[in-house]
């Protein structure tokens, strides 16, 4: 009987995640009428079977392809806000920044617009440019290129040539997946833009939530030794954590566990030096 209940409960979890792509443990427990510990065990089981991805305090459905930007904007908002809050202090003193496309980089850009002044930012994402425009002291240089409607950004040879004409203190990049061999993106065209930004920047920051951990995507644009800082909401573990540490990349995360009630806020693994 217990096995039957567990199977039915896990099927229900998958059904819920099919209509609500991301949910917190407490919300699932309330909907299912069980304890949060029971939900955590179910989520761990479903994650082990490759059916979902665990996030800080909850779960997100696992997709074979990354959803479009409009859908991603509605997912993992607290995690991305946390990442943005931790990322911006690293940029203190910077005058020239390149920012890649993606939902998380938009959150970072919004925070940057409220906390920093007198910057020049090179962007290829219209979402990034729009939120930076909230601050009149920030000059945005918009790269030309072929418009990708699903991502709200431009890519291509013209974009790369434009970026080669600039230097930046920082490149701030998102990622679709983070594996032991580095950061990757679902779009080959976006990965090429990110790689060009990296070459033109003195320091490189990747901003990505924990649902990207151990996710494989086709276009790898960076090894870990190319990346100075990874900002996330929960630090990676296991083989991924070892690979990142071996290449000397700083990891900065707000929480050191999966449950806000049991985690230590504002924990950092390696802290900013400037």
Least confident residue range of 61-75, 79-93, 169-183, 218-232: 61-75
Q: Give the orientation angle of helix 25-32 with respect to helix 2-19, to 10 degrees.
A: 120
Q: CA-CA distance, 68 to 82, in Å (whole number)?
A: 22
Instruction: Summarize pLDDT for 154-180 with one digit per residue, the tens.
Output: 999 999 999 999 999 999 999 999 999
Q: What is the 3-state secondary structure (H, E, C) of the chain?
A: CHHHHHHHHHHHHHHHHHHCCEEEHHHHHHHHCCCHHHHHHHHHHHHHCCCEEEECCEEEECCCCCCCHHHHHCCCHHHHHHHHHHHHHHHCCCCEEEECCCHHHHHHHHHHHHHCCCEEEEECEHHHHHHHCCCCCEEEEECCCEEECCCCEEECHHHHHHHCCCCEEEEEECCCEEECCEEEECCHHHHHHHHHHHHCEEEEEEECCHHHECCCCCEEEECHHHCCEEEECCCCCHHHHHHHHHCCCEEEECCCCCCCCCCCCCCEECCCCC
Q: How much is the average pLDDT of 104-129? A: 95
Contact 60, 170 (CB under 8 A): no
Instruction: Summarize pLDDT for 101-116 with one digit per residue, the tens.
Output: 988 999 999 999 999 9
- Looking at the chain, the domain(s) classified CATH 1.10.10.10 span 2-62
Q: What is the pLDDT of residue 30?
A: 87
The verdict on domain 70-269 having CATH code 3.20.20.60 is no
77 or 18, higher pLDDT:
77
Q: Reply yes or no on whether the pLDDT at 54 is more than 80.
A: no
Q: CA-CA distance, 228 to 249, in Å (whole number)?
A: 5
Contact 165, 141 (CB under 8 A): no
How far, in Å, are 8, 14, 24, 52, 270 from residue 4 at the CA level? 6, 16, 24, 20, 46
Q: What is the pLDDT of residue 76?
A: 61
Q: What is the pLDDT of residue 69?
A: 47
Binned at pLDDT 50, 70 and 90, residue 123 comes out as very high
Q: How much is the average pLDDT of 185-193? A: 90
Q: What is the pLDDT of residue 273?
A: 39
Both structure tokens of 116: 């920093």
Q: Reply yes or no on whether the pLDDT at 7 is more than 90.
A: no
How far, in Å, are 46, 67, 166, 187 from residue 62 at the CA level? 10, 10, 37, 17
Q: CA-CA distance, 41 to 264, in Å (whole number)?
A: 22
Q: Reply yes or no on whether the pLDDT at 203 is more than 60.
A: yes
Binned at pLDDT 50, 70 and 90, residue 43 comes out as confident
Q: CA-CA distance, 235 to 251, in Å (whole number)?
A: 7
Q: What is the pLDDT of residue 75?
A: 54
Contacts of 242 (CB under 8 A, 6+ apart): 180
Instruction: Summarize pLDDT for 208-251 with one digit per residue, the tens.
Output: 998 889 887 888 999 999 999 999 999 999 999 999 999 999 99
- Looking at the chain, the domain(s) classified CATH 3.40.50.1360 span 70-269
Q: Average model confidence (pLDDT) for the chain?
A: 84
Q: What is the pLDDT of residue 19?
A: 63
Q: How much is the average pLDDT of 80-105? A: 94
**Multiple choice CATH, 2-62, 3.30.70.270, 3.50.50.60, 3.40.630.40, 1.10.10.10:** 1.10.10.10
């Amino acid at each position: 009987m217990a096995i039957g209940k567990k199977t039915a409960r896990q099927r229900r979890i998958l059904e819920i995640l099919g209509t609500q792509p991301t949910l917190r443990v407490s919300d699932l427990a309330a909907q299912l009428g069980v304890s949060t510990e029971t939900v955590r065990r179910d989520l761990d089981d479903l994650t082990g079977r490759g059916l979902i991805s665990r996030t800080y305090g909850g779960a997100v459905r696992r997709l074979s392809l990354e959803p479009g930007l409009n859908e991603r904007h509605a997912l993992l908002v607290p995690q991305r806000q946390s990442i943005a809050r931790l990322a911006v202090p690293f940029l203190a003193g910077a005058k020239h920044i390149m920012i890649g496309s993606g939902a998380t980089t938009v959150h970072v850009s919004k925070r940057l617009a409220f906390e920093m002044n007198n910057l020049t930012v090179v962007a290829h994402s219209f979402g990034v440019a729009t939120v930076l425009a909230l601050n009149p002291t920030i000059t945005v240089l918009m790269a030309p290129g072929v418009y990708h409607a699903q991502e709200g950004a431009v890519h291509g040879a013209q974009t790369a040539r434009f970026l080669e004409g600039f230097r930046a203190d920082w490149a701030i990049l998102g990622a679709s997946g983070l594996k032991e061999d580095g950061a990757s993106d679902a779009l080959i065209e976006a990965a090429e833009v990110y790689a060009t930004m990296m070459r033109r920047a003195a320091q490189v920051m990747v901003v990505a939530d924990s649902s990207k951990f151990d996710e494989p995507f086709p276009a790898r644009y960076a090894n870990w030794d190319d990346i100075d800082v990874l900002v996330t909401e929960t630090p990676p573990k296991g083989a991924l954590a070892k690979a990142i540490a071996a290449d000397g990349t700083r990891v900065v995360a707000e929480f050191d566990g999966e449950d806000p009630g049991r985690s230590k806020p504002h924990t950092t693994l390696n802290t900013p030096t400037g």
